[in-house]
Structure 1
């Protein structure tokens, strides 16, 4: 016999699965659109940040993308091999590596201008719906970041054990 609480354990009731499925669907659409630019979705995200900031330390780039250096380094290596970015030790701080766009990387931005429009059209949402959804997802991310931080070991009240 099912209780009302059992429904919450169904896959189709999990917000995380809905987000996961939407993310995979987005990746499928992006894959086709970005193929013409010669980029993968993660590489496209790197380029978006660099088109906005032109030059950043690897650490800051990782913060923008929520990626650690172990994930970011191979992406940058492939983008550098493609001639889109250049990595150089910072003249100000030898421990820091700066990432900057090459001329080719700057030029690719013009070709990428059609990507957001094509993605938006693929959703079937109008501009206001997209703006609202993005704002709600940003709120969700903030709330989940706070919850994850609160759940970190050593943060529980004295005497409590997980």
Structure 2
């Protein structure tokens, strides 16, 4: 912390928002890892499943928009989820140019097991739910500002 006479060093590592976000992201993903392993999911795959549990089927384009992922990043995730039997990829009956992603029965059933994850994350982080909600809102503001 700088005193009144000492200017803030804007290039000091611990003063960088990007550094705090990067370390927080890696740290939180590490908290998720042991909870997701029994489900056979990585954190990015878990995010895909969350979007599909919200609504299925979805087009790859819609899924990419919801997850803010490019098709080149999303495609390998979907292929892996299909290989483990959680999703099905198929051409739309309405527009064959559109690839639809649908949950399989196994993928839909996985939701019940995943419902235990959020409370365990809250418990592991040891932060009140209200603080985590405020943090999420603040991060959403950062994301919106960065995308303008």
Classify the TM-score, shorter chain: over 0.9
State the partner residue of 2:59: 57
Partner of 2:7: 4
Q: 1:130 aligns with which of 132, 135, 142?
A: 132
Aligned length: 143
- Give the match's secondary structure for 2:41: coil
| Aligned twin of 1:121 | 123
* Offset from partner CA, 1:73-118 (integer Å, 9 cap, x none): 1100000010100001001111000000000000000000011111
Query: After TM superposition, what 4+ stretches of structure 1 lie above 2 angstroms from structure 2?
Result: none
1:95 to 94, 97, 102: 97
The counterpart of 2:48, out of the listed 46, 50, 71, is 46
Partner of 1:153: none
Q: Name the counterpart of 2:110.
A: 108
- 1:81 partnered with 2:83: yes
SS at match of 1:36: helix
Per-residue displacement from partner, 1:108-129 (whole Å, max 9, x unpaired)? 0000001111111122111111
Q: TM-score, normalised by structure 2?
A: 0.94
Unaligned runs of 5+ in 1: 147-162
**Cα distance in structure 2, aligned partners of 1:137 and 1:41:** 18
RMSD: 1.0
Structure 2: state its 5+ residue gaps.
1-5
Report the TM-score when normalising by structure 1: 0.86
Give the secondary structure class of the aligned counterpart of 1:9: coil
Larger of the two Rg values belongs to structure: 1
